[in-house]
Structure 1
């Protein structure tokens, strides 16, 4: 059987404010993304995931939605989006939208109605509670951005719940009207040809019905954010959320059943593996890909990383497809976490593990986090907890395209600072350098297209000594070995008997490493793909 497109494909995440500005206002937009579709097709990705583009007051840069069925004028118009979708499809690229179903903006018409009166029909579309006995918030829940998650509304005499900013009131997904409205929004975009959604904070959608206090976190230290003071036992990952996920999946599957193609659902879920697996569905389908973020904080020691991968593979339910994420718009960039040498090795890991990889824009250039001066901080999380290092601006900086003014991102100063090395670290320069990080990503993505073993093949860890992570990818008669040196010292990998007649197919370094006497000598910070000699 032919695998669905999302199993063999690579997803590329775009933060639209920072990808390409087309109108000179210093903010990226939809026509800018359309302008760069040729770059994405040449890079070799299969789908783009675009962070929220809906009308929004931008209290949290689009994750506070005031209208789910339109486009914010900062990014363009609905016509601009339709043009992007058509041109992407013409190039064989799928388009995923960011869906934000947990909360709206406090300026959304639903919340304006809900807030207007306790008797309003939409009052129960949000989470309203009376004060605790003796006054104060209904319970001890903490916002992910710090402070109480409850905001007092003087006019109606109740608190409303917000897991994030007070400008982002949480919806009540126990209300059938909310569920029906959200399903309708999904169909609105799917009817227009969108290929799926990344679902924001899926594990937050349902809260415990009686709103008990969350217990203290025994591992909390002052170095952590305030939200980590408590364990989110009652405010996230409730059993009923799986019914919600099944309903979202049913909407997406309607299009496959009528022959309109497979529509993909990716769930943002930060949970331990054993709880993450439930989002694939229990007795009925859940989301196609519950987000697997383990590589972002994974240990860079080969045996520990091998154990992590093995445990994840072993936990997958029958028929479930894995996925891997190395970076995103909320976490430090891979080059900052690992350094550029190991970032190259990590790129090979991401693009050769079994499962669907997601590549974050700019990581293919080896971009690092950009220091943001205090007077240029934009992220509300950083503004509320300054100095904690929780800000996300450093990983959302503009894409450097060339060495012209403002790195070819805009004709005006961009909304966030560029990476300091942009005159050298940009797409144009790296496109001309055979040994660049960009060239490596293009070779890896081309290898995935050429070798089915790397996309839909089986996976098996191999025995290895020292700081080497090694595994086999196999499909039919094709057998490949991926060997990754996770350290700065040379390492020797003894190959299995069946692999003595191997040759190097691709290295993260400039030249290929030969196989000699049934062994591979990996150089410091080197990853290699081996293939059997024909």
Structure 2
């Protein structure tokens, strides 16, 4: 196993709009992040991933970029960014920027030039096509946010492709000039001294050249024709040669619809592409197919199968990213745990799970506090374009019951993750002195950072312990993964081994107590408790009884007695 700093790191994602407001306009900003760097340093994380902070009209909250080398005015100035980066580095924190280059904003100068002149070289920066007879778009693809993936240009006859909102036209990476522009942007930020890139839907950058129709009887989300396309590895290897090889960067690619075999191609250390990918396979466990709005009950057996497959398939020369929520997903304690009676226990159990697998853990802001989903009373209170488009299409086009649509939004809407960070029990959770851009979750008076820091048994302090354990025990980072008692209906157990040490992790994923009989070979020699989410814990024995959402990890072997929590 090749040991590297980014494998041993813990990443913390900041959604700047909702993190901390420093100037009283109700919107989080760079100044607010600077104020809270000591909080992040104390938590113990190594890397900060910032969701986009570039200039943007905010149709999709910053993922529609109009200038990649300027800061969004609501967030601050380039001078403030420079101060932020300097302050991070002074604290030993690294910065990972969000690179969004599958598409731009329709207000980007490239696209505006393409609209003004049909003969402009910028026309080929995007996908402009003639429509079909009868006023139909070029093909039957739909966007991820509903409705057609094609929009007719305002003053012309052609359509342009947008896999997301109509204000996010897709870039044509087959044009070498586009790739040169992207590398120029990356070089700009590299020269500033950043430490890595998270790459938005980066496996979409190579589309099937002919942009064919999907079969009429099939889904119109044309994933086979725009994901993992014919030249994607060629382009990423070129990017690596030109930019990523300059520094010891941390890189992770967001990749919808990627298999483990494909992920190996993207991440194997011999291929010189990326360090990690964000897989979505586990994010669809509670969905019908890849339609997140069609909800079904997830099963532990399926979760075990998915995580087990990724753990074993990427164990040789590749690396996993570990996450259960982010800015695009519901809060993990509401989705995979219990955000009511057992909120604390289940949040700690899920954290134990993520931080004891092989891979780099990603913490989404507020996760370390056990922040929960939000239930706004009206669709009018929601801000997310994906949520609003889904509601409009479901109710007006497909005539679904609005109450049923809202229940799906309560469970899966992206605004669940985007309510303001809950800093204290003062008005607006200490996030702002003004009216926040989106309402604060009413439970902030109980769930907030100030209260969590005071309470030594809080979820926050448990995260500190988990991060400290990873830092002191390489078996937690590099150890191989071996599932135990895979058929157990409610307990997920596995072992990790590395350089003479052995880790045993036993997790009850449900509220009912559960009993497990472990094979004796799975018990670490002279095993002692490394961490657990109850004050007392079961002994490291064959027969083990776990309480509601109980998590416990035992360490044995050489050095097993060290750094106990």
| TM beyond 0.5 | yes
Correspondences of 1:300-449 after superposition (within 5 Å): 301-316=299-314, 318-337=316-335, 338-339=337-338, 340=343, 341-372=345-376, 373-386=378-391, 388=405, 389=409, 391-449=413-471
Partners of 2:363 and 2:31 lie apart in 1 by 21
Report the more deviating stretch, 244-253 or 365-374: 244-253
Report the more deviating stretch, 378-387 or 30-39: 378-387
Partner SS state of residue 63, structure 1: coil
Partner SS state of residue 348, structure 1: helix
- Whether contact under 8 Å (2:491, 2:507) holds in the other structure is yes
Number of aligned residue pairs: 519
Partner SS state of residue 177, structure 2: helix
Per-residue displacement from partner, 1:261-301 (whole Å, max 9, x unpaired)?
Answer: x1122111011333333322697322111113344445865
User: 2:228 is matched with which residue?
Assistant: 237
Partners of 2:311 and 2:471 lie apart in 1 by 23
Q: Does 1:267 align with 2:253?
A: yes
- Residue from 227, 232, 240 that aligns with 1:249: 240
Question: Post-superposition shift, 1:177?
Answer: 0.3
- Whether contact under 8 Å (1:50, 1:95) holds in the other structure is yes
User: 1:478 is matched with which residue?
Assistant: 501
Partner SS state of residue 22, structure 1: coil
- Whether contact under 8 Å (1:482, 1:527) holds in the other structure is yes
Question: Post-superposition shift, 1:236?
Answer: 2.7
Question: Post-superposition shift, 1:137?
Answer: 0.8
Q: Which runs of 5+ in 1 are unaligned?
A: 219-227, 257-261
492 and 305 in structure 1: CA distance in 2 versus 1, 3 angstrom threshold: same
Partners of 2:437 and 2:361 lie apart in 1 by 29
Per-residue displacement from partner, 1:139-195 (whole Å, max 9, x unpaired)?
Answer: 111111111111112523211111111111111111000000001101110111111
- Whether contact under 8 Å (1:402, 1:428) holds in the other structure is yes
User: 1:512 is matched with which residue?
Assistant: 537
Partners of 1:297 and 1:361 lie apart in 2 by 22
- Alignment TM-score, normalising by the size of structure 2: 0.87
428 and 11 in structure 1: CA distance in 2 versus 1, 3 angstrom threshold: same
Q: Does 1:527 align with 2:518?
A: no
Report the more deviating stretch, 408-417 or 310-319: 310-319
Question: Post-superposition shift, 1:313?
Answer: 2.9
Per-residue displacement from partner, 1:365-384 (whole Å, max 9, x unpaired)?
Answer: 11111123333221112222
Superposition CA RMSD, Å: 2.2
138 and 55 in structure 1: CA distance in 2 versus 1, 3 angstrom threshold: same
Partner SS state of residue 499, structure 1: coil
User: 1:224 is matched with which residue?
Assistant: none
Partners of 1:520 and 1:464 lie apart in 2 by 15
- Whether contact under 8 Å (2:171, 2:178) holds in the other structure is yes
Per-residue displacement from partner, 1:242-263 (whole Å, max 9, x unpaired)?
Answer: 212222222343323xxxxx11
Correspondences of 1:11-90 after superposition (within 5 Å): 11-90=11-90
Partners of 1:90 and 1:294 lie apart in 2 by 37
Partner SS state of residue 478, structure 2: coil
- Whether contact under 8 Å (1:468, 1:493) holds in the other structure is no
- Whether contact under 8 Å (1:503, 1:530) holds in the other structure is yes
- Whether contact under 8 Å (1:217, 1:230) holds in the other structure is no
391 and 505 in structure 1: CA distance in 2 versus 1, 3 angstrom threshold: closer
Partners of 2:33 and 2:98 lie apart in 1 by 15
Partners of 1:77 and 1:493 lie apart in 2 by 59
- Whether contact under 8 Å (1:294, 1:325) holds in the other structure is no
Question: Post-superposition shift, 1:134?
Answer: 4.1
Question: Post-superposition shift, 1:505?
Answer: 1.9
Partners of 1:364 and 1:86 lie apart in 2 by 25
- Whether contact under 8 Å (1:129, 1:159) holds in the other structure is yes
Q: Does 1:280 align with 2:280?
A: no
Partner SS state of residue 267, structure 1: strand
- Whether contact under 8 Å (1:495, 1:520) holds in the other structure is no
305 and 146 in structure 1: CA distance in 2 versus 1, 3 angstrom threshold: closer
- Whether contact under 8 Å (2:233, 2:266) holds in the other structure is yes
Partners of 2:234 and 2:473 lie apart in 1 by 38
Per-residue displacement from partner, 1:26-76 (whole Å, max 9, x unpaired)?
Answer: 100011111111111111111011000000111111111010011111001
- Whether contact under 8 Å (2:141, 2:220) holds in the other structure is no
Q: Which runs of 5+ in 2 are unaligned?
A: 287-297, 392-401
- Whether contact under 8 Å (1:96, 1:194) holds in the other structure is yes
- Whether contact under 8 Å (1:215, 1:231) holds in the other structure is no
Partners of 1:430 and 1:282 lie apart in 2 by 40
Question: Post-superposition shift, 1:12?
Answer: 0.9
Report the more deviating stretch, 202-211 or 493-502: 493-502
